[in-house]
Structure 1
Amino acid sequence: MQTPPTPAAPLTIGQVAGRTGLSVHALRFYEREGILAAPVRRTSGGGRRYSESDVEWLNLCIVLRASGMPIPDIRRYTELARTGAGTEPDRLALLRAHEARVIDQLAELQRSLDLVRYKVAVYEDYLEQHPQGAAPAC
């Protein structure tokens, strides 16, 4: 007879910091800002305890933040997710708006990369033709 799986042991704030790459300060900030999907559980001594699902949610928030999503938008997404069924159209709209911003950022980065590559080619050509000479003005 198989034994049922046991729930994973709760994680401390330090363990979650190590697993997510967030600082303890950032984790406390996310909690204050209402960005965690569920309230953080506490020990009788007041220590924070996190679950694996908390870590998964934080990793999603980290990706959203790294892609430029503002904290208020992440908070709104969290509120919608907490509310549950019926908020899917609002969550989709929020994610589509962010997707459009990310696409615009990628286009701007591509334009910047194109300019940098052009300037690299200019300097490579110049140095090939003038190995000891002065560099072009810009």
Structure 2
Amino acid sequence: MTMLTIQQVARQTGLSEPTLRYYEEIGLIGPIPRDASSGHRRYRESDLDALQALACLRAMGVGIQDMRSYQGNRARGNIAAGEQRELLLRHADRVRDEIETLRVHLDYLQAKAELWDARDRGDVADEAEAQLRVHAVLPSLEAAMRA
């Protein structure tokens, strides 16, 4: 069985060493076995699999409590498939909403950049068209800011 150091796991998962220790401390993973002579953590392949899943969830903005639920459902296997699906779909909805908000922000920034580009070129007709695009985006931008 391959045993990995905390440094190796940090490199492979993208999680920092303090985060790995924290995840063990709060029970998201582990307990992680220790080397008998040094006392250093030695991660198993199964720990690495769990940590890679947690790293992905973390990157998607999933909080600790939902990570805990995810890990618990994962351990329960197929019996928890429905709960796992609902947890993931809830976060997919959140990410979808964030993407839509970012699209509105992007539309606004591009319209404003076009406006300033037209001004920089001294093109009054393009400036007027760009101003219309900015005004067309404003209701969506205001709604996104309220959400």
TM-score range, shorter chain: 0.7 to 0.9
Give the 3-state SS of the residue equivalent to 1:87 in structure 2: helix
Q: Match for 2:32 among 22, 40, 48?
A: 40
1:56 to partner: Cα distance = 2.8
Which whole-Å CA distance do the structure 2 matches of 1:120 and 1:54 have between them?
A: 48
State the partner residue of 2:16: 23
Which whole-Å CA distance do the structure 1 matches of 2:100 and 2:52 have between them?
A: 25
Which whole-Å CA distance do the structure 2 matches of 1:80 and 1:92 have between them?
A: 10
Question: What are structure 2's unaligned runs of at least 5 residues?
Answer: 124-147
Matched, 1:96 2:89: yes
1:119 to partner: Cα distance = 1.0
- Cα pair 2:5 2:43 within 8 Å, conserved: yes
1:82 to partner: Cα distance = 1.5
Matched, 1:124 2:136: no
Ranked by relative contact order (alpha carbons within 8 Å, sequence separation 6 or more), the top structure is 1
Question: What are structure 1's unaligned runs of at least 5 residues?
Answer: 1-6, 131-138
- Aligned-residue Cα RMSD (Å) equals 1.7
State the partner residue of 1:64: 57
Structure showing the higher helix proportion among its residues: 2
Matched, 1:55 2:48: yes
Quote the sequence identity (%): 36
Which shifted more, 40-49 or 87-96?
40-49
Which whole-Å CA distance do the structure 1 matches of 2:76 and 2:33 have between them?
A: 19
1:114 to partner: Cα distance = 0.8
The count of residues paired between Structure 1 and Structure 2 equals 122
Counterpart of 1:24 in structure 2: which amino acid?
E
Which whole-Å CA distance do the structure 1 matches of 2:74 and 2:61 have between them?
A: 20
- Cα pair 1:12 1:50 within 8 Å, conserved: yes
State the partner residue of 1:81: 74
**CA deviation digits over 1:85-107, x for unaligned, max 9?**
31111111111111111111111
